Amino acid sequence: VVVLIGGAASAVDISRDVATVAKEVHIAARSVEEDHKAWKVTWP
């Protein structure tokens, strides 16, 4: 299980890479911008 701290686009990029080998990946962020493109296309 991996927990990434921070909600920037790089956290989403890293989570995609880590997800190939980790059982679970979670992103912990203070807040999420609703219009942030990275959150709309996190996983297929």
Residues 2 and 38: their CA atoms lie apart, in Å, by 19
Residue with more model confidence, 7 or 35: 7
> How sure is the predictor about 43, in pLDDT bands with cuts at 50, 70 and 90?
low
pLDDT at 33 over 90: no
The per-residue pLDDT of the chain, averaged, comes to 78
pLDDT at 42 over 80: no
Residues 44 and 36: their CA atoms lie apart, in Å, by 16
The CA–CA distances, whole Å, from 12 to 17, 20 equal 9, 13
Mean pLDDT of the region 10-17: 88
pTM: 0.61
- Taking every pair of Cα atoms in the chain, the longest distance, rounded to a whole number of angstroms, is 29
